[in-house]
A and B are shown apart, each in its own frame.
Chain A
Amino acid sequence: MNKEVPELVKRFVEGDQKAFADLVTRFQKKLYALAYRILGNHLDADEVVQETFVRVYRKRKELKDVNYFSTFLVRIATNYAIDLLRKRKGHSSILEDTTSLPGNVQLSLSHRVATPSEMFENKWLMEEITKALEKLPPRQKLTAILHDIEGYSKAEIADFFECPQATVRSNLHIARTKLKKILKKRLSSKEQK
């Protein structure tokens, strides 16, 4: 499946609209999850998803290497998310009630059906983590999310932000130190379990 992506990207850059539609379908969930973790609410995540694809479409001629599409996409998304975070600076985002999300079915993005207690626990955990992440400056927050949650390597993150890997290491270390302090109770209870 992944082998198909460079071919789709190539066709998309050449102007194949069907290829673009396929790329949207393939990457929108991943992008939504990333945006939701960064911004903490559905509306902003939705805005990031749509705006990112619109920008990718407009800037497609700038994509020189088809293997670079994912980086291109995430870079645009994270930059836009940082802009939104800065705009909302001072207005602490209120974690929305998940029942207000659109659609009738609410499934976890991992496609695992959670039990009610797991759902409840996850809701609180998500809220706690989002609140903790909100206390970090945008770059540290994004580095922690991209590395520790989304699983991107330090080299990839350095690519997204167009900065040296040493900066990524430093941001990650500071972010982890702060998060450990903020989530101390949760971490100690987890260690006791």
Chain B
Amino acid sequence: MTCQTALSLLDDFVDGELSQALAEEVSVHLEGCPRCRLEADETKSLKELLRQSEVRDPGRDYWPETSQLILARTVQSASAQEPHHTTADQLADQRNAFVRALLSLAASLVILVSAVVVGQSQKSTATLSSPDNPVLLTSSLAQRLDPDFQIVTHEERTRLAKGMLLMGPPGPFGRIAGLMELINLASPGFTEP
């Protein structure tokens, strides 16, 4: 056996992982080759040295404490979180469903009130549009073109309020103002300013 072959097998030889036949061949080579023998001895010594170093125990209390920490981060947190998680989810779902229902109800009410108010105002407009009512005459196109024209009639105010309700004028309460105006105009006790 050459030195090159012996050196390539040396790690496995020292680790006892060679077949018996190969191990015997390497042994024979080492007996006659001081250089390869030195290499083998150094590897054996290194292994022994490494195995001699002992890790110090971090203390008797360390192990149960660490076990508890691990269990707290795994088993206990999982069992504690799962039901809590489900309840929280259920509560959130219930809350969201309630809010959605409330919003739907509010929207329905707004639509209903708007429909009633618009219907009533149309009725009152029809009343106002009767030939016997002189108020209609004041809201002519000629008057609209007049720069000094001021909205003073019931019809003008109704139209403006309808427009406010449909168009949604600027400001957070634009539509609400229109709605309130329509309600006011439709109420039986309404009087022209």
Chain A interface residues toward B at CB < 8 A: 17, 20-21, 24-25, 28-29, 32-33, 36-37, 42, 46, 49-50, 53-54, 57-58, 98, 101-110, 112, 114, 122, 125-126, 129-130, 144, 147-149, 154, 169, 172-173, 176, 179-180, 183, 186-187, 190-191
Contacts and interface: CB of A to CB of B under 8 A. Distances in A.
B45 A190 contact: yes
Nearest to A53: B70
The 7 closest A-B pairs by CB, nearest first: A103-B59, A57-B74, A107-B57, A17-B75, A33-B55, A108-B54, A53-B70
A191 B53 contact: no
B84 interface: no
A50 B62 contact: no
A128 to B, nearest CB: 8
B123 interface: no
A148 B50 contact: yes
Interface of B: 11-12, 15, 17, 41-43, 45-63, 66-67, 69-71, 73-75, 79
B14 to A, nearest CB: 9
Contacts, number: 130
Given A17-B79, A50-B73, A109-B54, A187 B59 contact: no
Most chain A CB inside 10 Å of its own CB: which residue of B51, B60, B62: B62
Contacts of B79: 17
A58 B42 CA distance: 44
A33 B50 CA distance: 13
Given A21-B71, A172-B11, A101 B43 contact: no
24 contacts: A17-B71, A20-B74, A21-B67, A21-B75, A24-B67, A24-B70, A28-B67, A33-B55, A37-B53, A50-B69, A53-B74, A101-B59, A103-B58, A108-B55, A109-B56, A112-B54, A122-B54, A126-B53, A126-B54, A148-B51, A154-B15, A176-B46, A187-B46, A191-B45
A46 B55 CA distance: 13
Contacts of B63: 25, 28-29
A23 to B, nearest CB: 10
A101 B67 CA distance: 17
Contacts of B57: 103, 105-109
Given A54-B70, A109-B57, 10 more contacts: A24-B71, A57-B74, A98-B56, A103-B58, A103-B61, A103-B62, A105-B60, A125-B52, A183-B49, A187-B49
